[in-house]
Chain A
Amino acid sequence: MTTATAVEQAEMRIAMTRKEAVGRLLGVVLLLGVAAWLVLNLVTAPSQFFNSLLFGIGNGALYALIALGYTLVYGIIELINFAHGDLFMLSTVFSGFMMVYWLGAEGANPASWAKLLLTLVLAMGFGATINVLIERVAYRRLRRAPRLAALITAVGMSFILQWVGLRWNGSAPRLWPTVVPEGGISIGDVTLQYSTIMVVTFTIPVLLLLTYVVQRTKQGRAMRATAQDQDAARLMGINVDRTIAFTFALGGAMAGAAGLLYLEAVGTTRYDAGFHLGLIAFTAAVLGGIGNLAGAVLGGFLIGIIQGLNDGLPYGFGQKWSQTVVFSILIMVMVFKPTGILGQPTVEKV
């Protein structure tokens, strides 16, 4: 009896390691294939390669900002905030109306740049306010409910925000004049778009500020404590409700900033942009390791670059398969490494 069980156990162990080995082999083959594909494209069309890469980095910065909102909220209350992508969409529409209609920014001049900065602050405030309101109205009441309930609520919220966007923006995409001029700095055939420069220069200070808030301030410490153990945090005198609301505010502010930057980079707003971009950003958060701030940024840039290369390269699948490529990555990460690149089961959250 016992020997049989031991043999069975040994067999199971072998099977497990074999399974792991196959998984690892698959992963290596996949990565080698990607590397070969990159080299092939680099050799045949170097200028296209670098243009796509730069374009992807610009998009990646936006994805990183949105992904931070997902990862902050997931880190603290383990909820996938489906409405986050639509919050980003509302921020793009808000930024458009604020810049063009209410502040009247026109062309690239110092006054317009000042208005752009003002709109950035306002859009961040807008995103933060909406996100805190959603948390207060819906998610807070469901904190002790089964996870399915909170998740379904988030999906419903996403639909409601999409409706607001539909009423506000209209069903057709809306074109906006941008402050950031077209074109860019060219070195040979490679062009660094002005919008990419702007997005990256805005994103990096915001990311540094966020890291400072979470790592160095008292509020950040409260967030990390709440993420680890809500009850213990409460016993330590932390106002858990306020801390969670603050986390939502931070995530909303990131989405607001991303909204304005997206508007300046792309120049159009559409009511259904939030769903797709939100899902891509969520993929980025998962790829980097959800709940991990650095992971969200890394994942954002990676997804942006992958998407940019896929859309722009001569041997890629092309833009019409863009979504499929991103979601396939999502599913493969989920299957092979659910913790993501930087995430570890015991890693410090938020």
Chain B
Amino acid sequence: MASTTIDAAATPPTPTAPPSHEVVDRTNRRWALGFAIAALGLWAFYKFALESMPGGVQDAFQTWLPLTAVNEAIVWVICAIGLNIVVGYAGLLDLGFVAFWAIGGYCAGWFMSFFLGQYDITFHFLSAAPPTQSGIHINWWIVLAIAGAVCAFFGILIGAPTLRLKSDYLAIVTLGFGEIIPQVFVNGEDIAGFNLSNGTKGITPLDPITALPVGPEAVSRPLGPFDLETKYLLFALIVAFCVFVSLRIREGRLGRAWLAIREDELAASMMGVPLMRSKLAAYAVGAFMGGLGGVVFAIHVNGVFADRFNFSISIILLAMVVLGGMGNVWGVMIGALGLAWINSTFLPKLGETVNDALDTEINFPSYNFLIFGSILVLMMLFRREGLFPETRTRELVQEPERTELEDMHADLEGDVR
């Protein structure tokens, strides 16, 4: 402030143009149109077009791309977009993202089912559950917000004491966190007499969801297990929300702070970027989306099961982000859709087909370890910026830590010896 006043005193004030709204708003909103067309097109295809197709095509889609696989892939997309904020934008390696997925899932389990009825708690709010049922039953849109907030809180809780650590220590702490939280839920049947999670039995079923809490029958009827098309649309809406948030923040002050921290933490802090606050915000926003993904997954499988939350989920999410291109939301989305499909549908079905044809017993799904591991290694060795990189990321990851001259010396090493 002091320097500005001196400047103002020394030079006569020059008239400055008032800030134009076009300049301030840098977000390109055209993506929303393309996204809506793609999402609605797929919906219309499954809802209307597929029925009129010949039987062979219908069978092929039922086998290789059933709508339930698409819905599951959307869960991965939501979580991958969340992880992309932490890893891709802020450059903080998080190896325990499954923790947020689990917490989000249990928020759905607690607030959308009979489960807390065992403690004589009964609370209904805009829910499709029968009013006589005990337990907490809250409308799922509100549960989404609750789960996101709870996860953001845990993100800050784990981030606050650890974010001053070096990047690889941070990765280990998140990894430990990602191991502790699922174990708490697995053993959660009896924590000092309190049943937190129903242990390995899980919490199932959950309340049916409705598109809107009130309104005409068409939009407020409870969705059953076979209303996949409607659920798909609702899930796609959540993806759109995550994409919107990602792109919006990316262009704003916070997003630019993240990129600055990712590229050079020291320089960023010299420029006045608040390191801790920005990093914590990255954790909170990423965890928020992880929580959304957890709720959506719980709705998709109609329950929460503690033993599903393992380390490989964190790594698969990381592989999605790395494959698609760290920092690029669209790349991450494509990576997530592709890998989720390979994991859930392609490998098992390919295994069935090949084993039937050749009369072998090869366990194809067990190859997913090899595939995801190889993706991480090969991408890092040969295409560090991912398949669909942003220009900015490409320049960043190609940049060597040493100068080219030093590299040349390194090459001469054999002769020096």
Contact = CB atoms under 8 A, between A and B. Distances in A.
A10 interface: no
Given A152-B318, A237-B417, A163 B373 contact: yes
A151 B171 contact: yes
A142 B381 contact: yes
Contacts of A212: none
Contacts of B172: 80, 282, 286, 330, 334
A133 interface: no
Main secondary structure of the interface of B (DSSP, over half): helix
B366 A163 contact: yes
Interface in A241-266: 241
B205 to A, nearest CB: 27
A279 B165 contact: no
Interface of B: 87, 91, 93, 95, 161-162, 165, 167-169, 171-173, 175-177, 179-180, 183-184, 186-187, 311-312, 315, 318-319, 322, 366-367, 369-370, 372-377, 380-381, 384, 397, 400-402, 406-407, 409-410, 413, 416-417
A145 B400 contact: yes
A43 interface: no
Contacts of B165: 334, 338
Interface of A: 78-80, 138, 141-142, 144-153, 155-163, 166-167, 171, 231, 234, 237, 239-241, 275, 279, 282-283, 286, 320-321, 323-324, 327-328, 330-331, 334-335, 338
Contacts of A152: 93, 318, 322, 376, 380
Given A144-B402, A166-B366, A159 B171 contact: no
B315 A144 contact: no
Contacts of B315: 155, 159
Contact of B376 (A156, A320, A334): A156
Nearest to A335: B161
4 smallest CB-CB distances across A and B, nearest first, come from: A156-B376, A159-B373, A163-B369, A327-B176
Contacts of B180: 323-324, 327-328
A151 to B, nearest CB: 5
Contacts of A167: 366
B198 to A, nearest CB: 15
B413 A239 contact: yes
10 contacts: A79-B168, A147-B167, A148-B93, A151-B168, A156-B374, A157-B373, A239-B417, A286-B172, A330-B176, A334-B162
Contact of A327 (B179, B322, B397, B410): B179
A156 B369 contact: no
A311 to B, nearest CB: 14
Main secondary structure of the interface of A (DSSP, over half): helix
B200 to A, nearest CB: 11
B201 to A, nearest CB: 15
Given A334-B165, A335-B161, A144 B400 contact: yes
A158 B175 CA distance: 14
A241 B407 CA distance: 13
Contacts of A286: 169, 172
B377 A156 contact: yes
B393 to A, nearest CB: 11
Contacts of A275: 311
A166 B365 CA distance: 12
B375 A156 contact: yes
Contact of B175 (A149, A157, A159, A279): A279
A162 B177 CA distance: 21
Given A138-B377, A151-B93, A240-B413, 8 more contacts: A148-B87, A149-B397, A156-B376, A162-B369, A237-B416, A320-B187, A327-B177, A331-B173
A153 B95 CA distance: 13
Contacts of B366: 163, 166-167, 171
B373 A160 contact: yes
A107 to B, nearest CB: 35
A146 B319 CA distance: 17
Of listed B183, B186, B376, B401, residue having the most chain A CB within 10 A: B376
A163 B93 CA distance: 23
A150 B315 CA distance: 15
B322 to A, nearest CB: 6
A323 B183 contact: yes
Nearest to B369: A163
A153 B315 CA distance: 11
A72 B318 CA distance: 27
Contacts of B409: 231, 234
A167 B322 CA distance: 26
Nearest to A325: B180
B369 A145 contact: no
A146 B384 CA distance: 10
Given A159-B369, A334-B169, A153 B176 contact: no
Of listed B95, B175, B177, B400, residue having the most chain A CB within 10 A: B175
Contacts of B312: 159
Contacts of A171: 366
Contacts of A79: 168
Nearest to A328: B180
Nearest to A163: B369
Contacts of A147: 167-168
B167 to A, nearest CB: 6
